[in-house]
Amino acid sequence: MAKGTDEKIKGLVDDVLRDHLNIKRIISLLYDLDMEKRLLGAKALGEIARIEPEVIKKRWNRIFYAFDDTMSCWGAAEALGEIGRNLPEMRSRIILFLRKFEKDEVSCQGFIWAVTRIGQVDREKVKDIIPDLMGFLNSNDACMVGQAIWALGELRVQEALEKIRCFLEDERETWIYDNEMAKLAKICDIAEESIKKISS
């Protein structure tokens, strides 16, 4: 993640560690239209879960209900992914909850990113979701295709290799989340990177 973003996350986390009520400020970022701000909030919650898990556990019900309205809290899936990545004992529950976002038009891109972030540290927990990730390659939506290609590359899904090769000529541009930032990329470039990861 860029140095400036790292500093922003550290500032948000430090604010919460000084006063736990400041977690509301982080949650508010998840409602922002800007992908970068939503990702910033998600990463900050993940960092709090990593270094001060009791803060998240004590406020879990509030956080859970804040995320229950998927149409207004656009960054809910991303935040749950980061919390699940950093709180192993909550992963199963979080993955079950994330399934609510899979069919939601607003949140399904965040769903793909979230389960991938968990799968990077605990592949077993997301193995049943991998066929769904491959199914997103059939979408007409460029952002869904791009995010799914990224996810399958990150998870090194060998059986997706041939399907991903079909996108090497796809010049459509789309915004996707990678591990650390939201970025604009061509689908063909995302496909090339994913193929390298799967083949390495």
Q: What is the pLDDT of residue 72?
A: 58
* Domain residue ranges in the chain: 3-199
What is the DSSP code (8-state) at residue 70?
A: T
Under 8 Å between Cβ of 187 and 174: yes
Candidates 1.25.10.10, 2.70.98.10, 3.40.50.800, 1.10.3720.10; CATH matching 3-199: 1.25.10.10
What global pTM score does this model have? Answer: 0.90
pLDDT tens string 97-139 = 899 888 887 788 999 999 999 999 999 999 999 999 999 999 9
Under 8 Å between Cβ of 133 and 112: yes
CA separation for the pair 99, 148 (Å, rounded): 15
> For the chain, which residues score pLDDT lower than 50?
1, 70-71
